[in-house]
Amino acid sequence: MNADVIWGKACEHLQSTLSTDVYSRWISVIEPDHFDQKTLSLRVANNFYQSW
């Protein structure tokens, strides 16, 4: 499995449990970076999102 597949599955779950507004505002801006068999690393576009 790679980071894109794992994050895609997580996003499917999050979309079904969070409001559309919350998902769009906070989750959709997150991108998968890499997966090393135990840890999924994610990235965001700027420090504002990283702080939250």
Identify which of 2, 10, 5 has the alpha carbon closest to the alpha carbon of residue 27: 10
Tokens of 28: 């959709």
What pLDDT, on the 0 to 100 scale, is given for residue 5? 96
The DSSP letter of residue 33 is E
For residue 41, give the H/E element and its range.
strand 40-43
Tokens of 33: 């970076």
* Interval 1-52: pLDDT, tens: 899 999 999 999 999 999 999 999 999 999 999 999 999 999 998 888 888 7
What pLDDT, on the 0 to 100 scale, is given for residue 13? 98
Map tokens 């965001």 to a residue.
Answer: 44
What pLDDT, on the 0 to 100 scale, is given for residue 22? 97
